[in-house]
Amino acid sequence: MQQRLKPIFIVILLFLIPACVEHTFFIQVHPAGNFDIDYHARGDRGDLLDADFCIPHDSTWHVVTTLDVEDAESYEYSASKWFAANESVPDTYFEGDSIAPGALLRTPTKLQRRRWLLNNTYVYQTIFKGRGVSDKYPALAESLKNNNDIDWIHETLVYFFRETLRRSDVGFNREPILQKELGQWLDENVINLPDSILLENLEDLKQAGLELLKQPLEKRYYPVLDSIFGSLEEEARITHDLADDEFEFRVILPGEILDTNADTTRGDTMIWKVSLQNYMDEDYILTAKSRVLYPWRYRILIALLVVTVLLIFVKGVKSGTVRRSDNSNAKIY
């Protein structure tokens, strides 16, 4: 029985088990452009360690955690790291190749210092890459948005199988035939059945659908089909796990804030709160820009301009005096 607990069944089990993790990022950028990132998370141990959002954990981070404590009601995890100016920040902290990159939540972050003659500007941006839920499985999107208990398993299965066929590149002559056969099989075995029946037979349906796709193909296609289907399962699982993950970003930039889309600002700290609702479909972008002025550079520049103008004026006056002197000494014949 344990061997039959495949990813697609794990997807459903996790959908039915509530969990919650709070993630907080505190980012402080210094005038020289270097910056510190302090991360803190609180929640269930299993949810902290799963792949829906991978916590910073490599040796370059200073980590303090209570994950080793037994029978704690809630677990804490903190990690901090110093970054050099314009150093890149990982868009995911997942390591390995067991999960397809497209299934992971990616949050590319950019912190840049731009040096000018009279000022420095600092640009912050974090992008929560959109999950495209409404396009892939609309019923699940409605369930997540409105917290409705509606049937969505059949729709998700249909997407898994059809997308697997689309991505597998089986050839233009065989794809239409397989599309027709798959459509008939889905009509008979998936689309018209309630989720309760599908849930009971989920693993058998997965194997039957993949066998239908594999039957007319060479064996070299089998691992490809399994891999594509598995990555789609992981993507759906991670998406739903993220429904109970809350993110808070607190950012301090040097100087005067020129522009930001922060939810709130407290003193010099900009605060964003992000949940799956924000990036369920489209990218959700956190952005801010600040500027540090250097008045003494302005004064030096003005002084240089004044000196330059005076030099030009003096040179012009001397040049005019010389011309007048030359003209006065000219002989008239």
Q: Is the model's pLDDT at 224 over the cut of 90? A: yes
The average pLDDT across 101-129 equals 92
What average pLDDT does the structure give for the chain? 86
Q: What residues are paired with 43 via a beta bridge?
A: 21, 75
The pLDDT confidence band at residue 297, using thresholds 50, 70 and 90, is: low
**One-letter identity of residue 150:** I
Q: State the Cα–Cα distance between residues 246 and 242, nearest whole angstrom.
A: 8
What is the predicted pLDDT for the residue at 112? 93
pTM: 0.81
The average pLDDT across 204-212 equals 95
Q: State the Cα–Cα distance between residues 271 and 262, nearest whole angstrom.
A: 6
Q: Is the model's pLDDT at 98 over the cut of 90? A: no
**DSSP labels for 80-133?**
EEEE-TT--B-S----SSSS-GGGS----EEEEEEE-SSEEEEEEEEEE----H
Length of the chain: 333
Q: Is the model's pLDDT at 111 over the cut of 60? A: yes
What is the predicted pLDDT for the residue at 300? 66
Q: Is the model's pLDDT at 12 over the cut of 50? A: no
| CB-CB neighbours of 105 under 10 Å | 23
Tokens, residue 146: 């409105």
What is the predicted pLDDT for the residue at 1? 31
Burial (CB < 10 A; 0-12, 13-18, 19+), residue 19, is middle
User: Percent of the chain at pLDDT above 70?
Assistant: 86
CB < 8 Å & 24+ apart, contacts of 167-175: 167/228, 168/213, 168/221, 168/224, 168/225, 168/228, 170/217, 170/221, 174/216, 174/217
Rama region for 267: left / alpha / beta (φ>0; ψ in -120 to 50; rest): left
Kindly report which listed range (107-111, 190-194, 210-214) carries the lowest average pLDDT score: 190-194
Domain ranges (residues) in the chain: 22-133+244-293, 145-239, 301-328
Radius of gyration of the CA atoms of the chain, in A? 31
CB 28 within 8 A of CB 36: yes
What is the predicted pLDDT for the residue at 236? 92
The average pLDDT across 236-254 equals 94
Highest mean pLDDT among 110-119, 229-238, 300-309: 229-238
